[in-house]
Amino acid sequence: MQHPEQQPWRTKVSDPAAFAAEQDRLGGQWTFLGLKSDVAREGDWFRAMLGGRSVFVQQFAAGIRGFENLCAHRHYPLRTVDRGNGPVRCGFHHWQYDSDGLAVGIPKCVEQFGMLPRQLGKKLERVQLALCGELIFGRFSSAAADDEDLESYLGEGFPILQAAFTRESAMLRSSLTANANWKFGYQISLDDYHIVAVHPRTFGKQGYLKPESVRYFRFGRHSAYFHEASSDALAVMARDCRSGAYTPRDYRIFQFFPNLLLVHFEAGGRWYVLLQQYIPLACNRTILRSWLSPAAFGSIKYLPWRRPFEPLITRVVMSYVCQIGGEDNAVCEQLQRHAHEIRTQPVYGRHEQRIAWFEQVYAVSMSSPRARPVSPHGDSITAGGLDRLLEAGSR
């Protein structure tokens, strides 16, 4: 399969300038930021990355809103840890912001700047937000994507993600760091050819996948792998998830562009859902975040003896997830060490089909207009409509 880009691969995965340009464009794509449960109370906030820029999402009385994590005064980070609760107040000069991102508390404002805070009119850059069930997605405004809401962007994946994670889901979290480009890691999740060599004691124990047992689906920018499924299995699953009738039947994995994946699998008589995200920190550094939960749909009923041990069993399953992730990260780090030597484009086989699809979507994204700052009066998730996707811009 021919690689869709002409840019040398070594530049894409090892050059800081290429990484910055890439992230600038990807910031305009709907990107998973975090969970509603992380901002359950007024004042709760968490920090995330979007398009190579630090952002934070916070629960206000007016609803959940997101902003770039830079003070409008001297660009000091407003949030310097991963999560917390409290007003939006800069630790450098004590500038304080309201739920619209407007600087409303500026010490000695008239004395220092000759006018009142509201007259100064300094605001934080807004992040557009939208919800899919328990999941919060965000993007910076871009000319190419402003008319595409989250449900349209996710397509058939929207009801699947919505059904997989509910407010009642108890999630176990983990985080792994790899000294490698995020695309190496994400593409491993799209690769069914490496399992025997890299995971001989887990995924690869049964040998290489039989072609007839694999079904790949492409939906919009995204893709999925189903085991032994019919040609209409994705559409049927989306329909059943939408109606609440879906029951897991086999191992399935979904990749959502640019950097999110959902897996559902059975372990020890219990179905689980696993959410993973490859978060780019630099051209050669990535964090793999994981959220694991017993599946909210079609789970096998507990045996009486099992209930007390469920937290322990889930931790054992998460240790398995971390083992797989660690094995993949080791491969990615080896690839990164030799990335500067790459002179030719990769070659993709049948069980690497989804990587080629990803590269095609990636190439289109890299040719799109750069992300531009969103209006300070941009989107929010209102307190009265948390389950409603909001439109961009002020009203």
Average the pLDDT over 296-304 and give the result.
Answer: 59
φ, ψ dihedrals at 118, nearest 5°: -70, -30
Min mean pLDDT across 89-103, 146-160, 374-388 is at 374-388
Out of 1.20.1110.10, 1.10.3720.10, 3.90.380.10, 3.40.50.620, the CATH code matching 157-366 is: 3.90.380.10
Buried b (16+ CB within 10 A) or exposed e, 304-336: eeeeeeeeebbeebbeebbebbebbbebbbebb
pLDDT at 277: 97
The chain-wide mean pLDDT, for the chain, equals 87
pTM across the whole model: 0.88
Order across the sheet with 252-256: list the strands: 172-178, 285-294, 270-282, 260-267, 252-256, 222-227, 214-219
pLDDT at 169: 61
pLDDT at 378: 39
Rg of the chain taking only CA atoms, in angstroms: 22
Q: Taking 70 as the threshold, does the pLDDT of residue 146 lie above it?
A: no
Q: What is the pLDDT of residues 14-52, one digit of tens each?
A: 899 999 999 999 999 999 999 999 999 999 999 999 999
Q: What is the pLDDT of residues 150-192, one digit of tens each?
A: 999 999 999 999 999 876 567 899 999 999 999 999 999 999 9
**Which pairs with CB-CB distance under 8 Å and at least 24 residues apart come from 242-250?**
242/159, 242/163, 244/163, 244/297, 246/163, 246/297, 246/298, 247/297, 247/298, 248/295, 248/297, 248/298, 250/226
> Comparing 6 with 197, which gets the higher pLDDT?
197
CB under 8 Å to 57, separation ≥6 — which residues? 33, 34, 38, 39, 45, 46, 48, 64, 65, 66, 127, 129, 136, 138
Out of 3.40.1030.10, 1.10.10.10, 3.30.1280.10, 2.102.10.10, the CATH code matching 27-151+371-382 is: 2.102.10.10
Q: What is the pLDDT of residues 200-220, one digit of tens each?
A: 988 888 889 888 889 999 999
